[in-house]
Amino acid sequence: MIDMAFWGRCSTEDRQDPEASRAWQLRRARGLVEPHGGRIVTEFFDVDKSRSIPPQRRPEAARLLACLGDPARGFDAVVVGEPQRAFYGNQFGLTFPLFEHYRVPLWVPEVGGPIDPANEAHELIMSMFGGISKGERNRIKVRVRTAMAALAQTEGRFLGGRPPYGYLLVDLGPHPNPAKAADGKRLRGLAPDPVTAEVVRRIFREFRSGKGFWAIAEGLTRDGVPCPSAHDRERNRHRDGAAWSKGAVRAIIINPRYTGRQVWNKQRKDEVLIDVNDVALGHMTRQRWNDRDGWVWSAQVTHEALITPEEFEQVQVILAGRGRGPTTHKPHRTRRPYMLRGVLFCGYCERRMQGNYNHGECYYRCRYPAEYALAAEVDHPKTVYLREADVLPPLDDWLAAEFGAGNSMETARVLAAQGQDRAGNAVDEALQARVAECDRKLAAHRAALEAGADAALVTGWMAEVQTQRAAAQAQLRRVEARRPMTAEEIHEVLVAVRDLVKVLREADPADKADLYARIGLRLTYRPQKRLVEARVMPSLHVCKRRVSEGGLEPPCPLPGTSTSS
């Protein structure tokens, strides 16, 4: 009997059923290995991870590759359900040498067994599947973008997303696609918001009269007009909504949809190399503005305009004359190594501080008053500034001390106690109550059938309840699959990570920034006291089973205390 690991992937949780995708891939894998005496003893299944992401950057695939070098890994071979889901482009050529090095056979249904490293046909077949996978993804992208451009231009179709400030989404009737209409999907369109539409007209009117972004934002805040994030809390929930910003005013000024036409393709997503010196790391997605010539405008007016096209063009001319029109920014040749990116917060406003290079050194700043109207009367200096070099040495010393051998077990006990305190069972009880309610309804429906009720009608009710019950049970399984880590498990992680902390000073800036983010580091700069508060808030749960539920990664606990440096 050959003990084997199953390797699979499901790209998007909202478009596919992860359980169904896992089931059919696992079925193919078992159909290949069981006739040869193989049995699957563990699984590595990524959910919501694109095939374009290299296996080394998919949580479960990376865990599988890390297990290859472990003699106690618990399996002797690996089987994939479908090669197109495991490999994309040249990923096979960059990954298979690891299997070959550790002498772990890789089974593939299309090959009919394990891949033979000396067989050129096997190499060609796997390379072909990688090319097919890449071509399939590219064809889908082209078809989707072409179809969206046609719908926006010829039909003026609203293609999703949140409505612009000043508009509301309204129901326009059933979806024209019969399958989507049968699924309950509806067409949506834009209609003026009776509360905010006049605010948009006021902004355009005041800008045409000569006011700037700052003056407009100041006036709106002074008059008590809620800013976009305050009017709709689902819009930028991380904003406090205290005042209008210059950026919010400018975003409204340059939005052509206020002329009554749908405009699509204002922005695009580019895939750029993470590291030009290490192509194997793959790409990352960056959103960028398209030139105005590339925008797709609807041929007809599709919703009620808030301003005329002439007013919009006049405003764009004024904006360009002030030197604030759309510009083309040259990309940096190299990314700045901001090691505290995303983890350093301003003590006045609790906003993330922005990286800024001056005289060859890295600084972080918060310019809240320069972006938001002063009428909000926020107690905040004009600029809060902090040099990175003043923070890193004491921060690394603190982390090294907390990871010391003398503190690790006590810290593990504290974290385990905190995890037990946080692990409430309210969600479990609610889901269990939902399952019980579905069971009660099903029993009532069966009784109605036995009493002579309309069989077709009751059967429809039962199907609906059974669907609800299955969904609740699936959620309950995902909740029950996670539990708080024990003190012993946390201590093992602390010991494993201790060596990493020891070399923090000499670590590569990008690796250092990644480690800070993974351990849940949060720094708050208090300029009034001239100190930085440091906290580590790790995840205190571990997954019971090996199948990934949304890309869980091994947690990296650290002491959840705070100190000052």
Question: Residue 105 has what pLDDT?
Answer: 95
302 and 451 inside one domain: no
160-165 contact pairs (CB < 8 A, 24+)? 162/234, 162/235, 163/190, 163/193, 164/190, 164/252, 164/255, 164/257, 164/258, 165/193, 165/196, 165/199, 165/200, 165/228, 165/231, 165/232, 165/235, 165/248, 165/252
123 and 253 inside one domain: no
Per-residue pLDDT tens, the chain, 565 aa: give them.
899 999 999 876 446 678 888 899 999 999 999 999 999 999 999 988 888 889 988 889 999 999 999 888 999 999 999 998 889 888 999 899 999 999 999 999 988 999 998 898 998 899 898 888 888 888 888 998 899 999 899 988 888 888 999 999 998 888 888 887 887 888 889 999 999 999 999 999 999 999 999 899 989 988 989 989 888 877 777 676 778 988 899 999 999 999 999 998 888 888 888 777 777 777 888 888 888 888 999 989 999 999 999 999 999 999 888 765 554 445 444 456 788 888 899 888 888 898 888 888 899 998 877 777 665 566 788 888 899 989 988 888 887 777 666 666 766 676 666 555 444 455 567 778 888 888 888 888 788 778 877 776 777 677 777 767 777 776 676 565 555 566 676 666 666 555 555 656 666 777 778 778 777 788 999 988 888 998 876 554 433 333 223 322 333 333 333 344 4
In a domain, 289, yes or no: no
Q: Yes or no: say if 309 and 280 are a contact pair by the CB < 8 Å rule.
A: no
In a domain, 144, yes or no: no
100 and 245 inside one domain: no
In a domain, 150, yes or no: no
- The residue segments making up the domain with residue 359 are 344-390
In a domain, 326, yes or no: no
15 and 134 inside one domain: yes
Tokens of 134: 């890449």
Cα 92 from Cα 55, distance rounded (Å): 9
359 and 430 inside one domain: no
For the chain, what is the domain count?
Answer: 4
| Angle, CA of 475, 558 and 346, to the nearest 5° | 90
In a domain, 279, yes or no: no
Cα 399 from Cα 497, distance rounded (Å): 11
412 and 511 inside one domain: yes
114 and 255 inside one domain: no
385 and 449 inside one domain: no
Cα 515 from Cα 501, distance rounded (Å): 9
**313: domain CATH number?**
3.90.1750.20
456 and 523 inside one domain: yes
Sequence-separated (6 or more) residues with CB below 8 Å from residue 479: 427, 428, 431
Question: Residue 565 has what pLDDT?
Answer: 43
In a domain, 288, yes or no: no
**90: domain CATH number?**
3.40.50.1390
Domain boundary pick from 290, 321, 352: 321
184 and 258 inside one domain: yes
In a domain, 277, yes or no: no
Task: State which amino acid sits at residue 543.
Answer: C
Of 532, 521, 523, 525, the C-alpha closest to 558 is 521
Cα 40 from Cα 382, distance rounded (Å): 61
Question: Residue 176 has what pLDDT?
Answer: 86
In a domain, 316, yes or no: yes
Exposed / middle / buried, residue 400 (Cβ in 10 Å: 0-12, 13-18, 19+): middle
428 and 552 inside one domain: yes
417 and 560 inside one domain: yes
Domain boundary pick from 331, 357, 390: 390
Cα 348 from Cα 366, distance rounded (Å): 9
